[in-house]
Amino acid sequence: MDGTNAMTSRLGAVSTGSALELRGVTKMFGALAAISDVTLTVRPGERRAVLGSNGAGKTTLFNCVTGDFLPTSGTIRLFGEDVTTFPAHERIRRGLRRTYQISLLFTGLSVADNVYLACRGVSRGRFSLLRPRRGDPLLTRSAELVEAVRLTAARDRLVSELSYGQQRQLEIALALAGAPRFILFDEPAAGLSPTERAELVAILTGLPSHIGFIIIEHDMDVALRVAESVTMMHNGRVFKEGTPAEIETDPEVQELYLGGGHG
């Protein structure tokens, strides 16, 4: 735990504010503590990988940060503001974005409409009764996003007709809508082919440098290529924090990763 604190203060010193700051966040499901006493600070623009075996609490951590669930205790600050009890949409409007481990898309809509909804969600006119006209800036922006995740050829296809890999790309497009400042990627590479993985890495490394993110990733190759810092989780707790090199060579991590089951 000493290492954690040293890391936190080191990173905190680099910039004045933090993008994300968790203090003692615990989430109970009945008697089960899915995450317990998680304290974590991420700088604006920082790219962090979260590692940990299945059931370590990584997705639950994301759900607490985005407001999909409220934490049982602890505080969550987003760009310095206490958002612990804010509903999800309020956090999203402050620049937070996420993708889901299991794609959560509008399967009855086309790719373009999915992205349009995402763009609309973080801009004015969510309640507009007027249909968008040709040349509407949001339509242009949606088309750019579809392009950015390399789905232009499939833009008018229904999401239900897309391949698994394409659905994962669309997940990312939805998280890039508007002006994201901090993104949570939940296992974006899971189930992708090597080519698709390479594309994903290109998308992630190509993000503007002011956009920070946390990526949950089992594939060390992907994680270490896109992240500058690593948080290791185990049994709902933060187990280790450090640079990729520190984590890779840490004997305890090695033991956990080789000894314990990971999926």
Shortest distance (Å) from residue 239 CB to ligand ADP? 12
Q: Which string of x and - marks every residue 93-122 that binds Mg ion (by CB under 5 A)?
A: --------x---------------------
Which residues within the stretch 190-249 sit at the binding site for other proteins (CB under 8 A)?
Answer: none
Residue 122, binding choice from Mg ion, ligand ADP, other proteins, none, Cβ under 5 to 8 Å by partner class = other proteins
Q: Which string of x and - marks every residue 159-188 that binds other proteins (by CB under 8 A)?
A: ---------------x--xx----------
Q: Does 101 bind other proteins (CB under 8 A)?
A: no
Residue 177, binding choice from other proteins, Mg ion, ligand ADP, none, Cβ under 5 to 8 Å by partner class = other proteins
Query: Which is closer to other proteins, CB of 131 or CB of 195?
Result: 131
Residues 108, 160: contact at Cβ < 8 Å? yes
Residue in this structure with the two tokens 């890495």, named with its chain if needed: 201
Q: Does 134 bind other proteins (CB under 8 A)?
A: yes
Sign, CA torsion 30/33/37/41: negative
One residue of 18, 39, 59, 99 binding Mg ion per CB under 5 A: 59
Kind of pairing, strands 237-242 and 73-78? unpaired
Kind of pairing, strands 212-216 and 47-51? parallel
How far is the C-alpha of 78 from the C-alpha of 44, rounded, in Å? 10
Shortest distance (Å) from residue 147 CB to ligand ADP? 31
Binding piece for Mg ion, criterion CB under 5 A, among 13-21, 59-67, 167-175, 227-235: 59-67
Binding piece for other proteins, criterion CB under 8 A, among 8-16, 47-55, 88-96, 208-216: 88-96
Residue in this structure with the two tokens 């232009």, named with its chain if needed: 152
Residues 165, 103: contact at Cβ < 8 Å? no
Binding piece for other proteins, criterion CB under 8 A, among 8-16, 43-51, 64-72, 246-254: 64-72
How far is the C-alpha of 214 from the C-alpha of 184, rounded, in Å? 5
- CA separation, residue 175 to residues 92, 95, 168, 212, 235 (Å): 10, 10, 11, 13, 28
Residue 157, binding choice from other proteins, ligand ADP, Mg ion, none, Cβ under 5 to 8 Å by partner class = none
Residues 6+ apart with CB under 8 A from 255: none
